Structure 1
Amino acid sequence: MSQRGDYGDRLDDAFWEVNAAASRFISYGCGVSARHLRDRSLRMQFNRELAYYAKRVVEDVYQRRISPEQGLEAIRAEANSLKSQVNRVFTQVGGMAGGASQLLTGIGSCVRSYGTTCAFHGLPLIAHGGNNFYENARGMYEGRTDVVGPVRKKYQDVAKRLGYGEREGNMAYYATDLVLSGRAIGRMVVKKDAWRLFRYLKTDKEIALKQMGRGALFIEGAASTLTLNQLIEEYKK
């Protein structure tokens, strides 16, 4: 923001507190755009709009159209809104990645087992993965955090029939999601270099975790952490 020379006749501490808050807001916004906006023109437009907004607030305080307290409140509200949007997008991107991972793992489980493990392992993963991807993709497109997919809706309906509420249905959904993800990386799979004469032995298999690359492990860990946080939030309600 502007230096003190630009506002020489207004040097009270309250005004400069607003000025400093505006500078921090712009700095945070520039960091957000640098991390998340690859398009240079969009990034510049985003930064320019933040700077214009912050400058208008400072000017309003300087011209005494609003009080310093109102200026601080306006900047902090906008900063909190931006942080909330960043957190929402981060959560939904992670949810989409985790859902896609579950979906592919479930399909792979059905294919590799020729359908023998589909009913109790592959299909639940496919259902949860598809639902997670749908909820987060639609939420990102519509700018919402309250999208409920058909699978989670089933959990809510069952909870209500048992005399509970949506909260308990959501908790059951998230808990099952964590169990399915844990079972997916903890299951025994055939080693890549295993050779079968008649049937695979125990020594021909290893835990699926060992075959996952760093990227897949990161996605799985991030998605499980987000799901655990959602479960905790539901529990606290």
Structure 2
Amino acid sequence: MYINRNDDYFSTMGALAARSVTESSLALSKFLGNVSVKLRFQSDVKKFTDHNLGILSSASSSESAKSQAIQDLKQEKLYLAEQENTLRNNMAQKYAIIEIKKENDVYTYILKGVGLVAGAAQFITGVALVTMTSQTIVGYVAGSAMIIHGAGNFEENLTSILNNDADYKGYLKLGYEHAFEFIGSDKKTANLVYGGVDIALSGYGVFRSVLKPEAWRLFYYIKEDYVLSYKTMGGYALSFEILADGVTLKSTYDAYNDPANSKK
């Protein structure tokens, strides 16, 4: 009878916590404009809640595992509430700054503002990975690298915007250039590697496990939502065809093909 009472307790508390998480995710979905992105965000949350409800309903789960499942659900609820507070109080804003260049009758479109948001989100993700209690070697290394790259993206894009200098290079990117020059290579190779590392690390955050509480779960979808909104616009916006890492890919490609970067 004691075991049955415990099972009833875990089932009841788990159901309440899961419902609270689901309701919060539905409320937060209004910050996402694209329907498919909204559905993916909600699906992400559902996988998380279903995983924990599965632990709570399994006869083979220990009491400690069930207690942890309830704690994870409660923690996710707190994270979602913090994200909502951040957005409602304009502590993080969605915006875009588009730079248009014309060289030799060819127009180049660069979406600068999203980089600022992405850099901050990447920085936060890296901190979360490093401070996790259970850590794999891969997670720790990736987490440390993401903190460095996230801070580099933030510094480079913010300075570029504030100084109205589209050609500004952040300290991290310059560090890559100096390192590759030191070993006898050139700047364009350094920038190609820098861009590749940045894209790979962003992918690590995107394809993370969705079965644990996420401090910035919604923010993973904000950049995708913002980019997709451009793809639905008319006129010149239709030519952007920007994917999540399209800005980094394009700037990396341009840098590699710029003769000036071949100088050692």
Higher helix share: 1
Where relative contact order (Cα < 8 A, 6+ residues apart) is larger, the structure is 2
TM-score, normalization: structure 1? Answer: 0.50
TM-score if structure 2 supplies the norm length? 0.45
Question: Which entry has the higher C-alpha Rg, 1 or 2?
Answer: 1
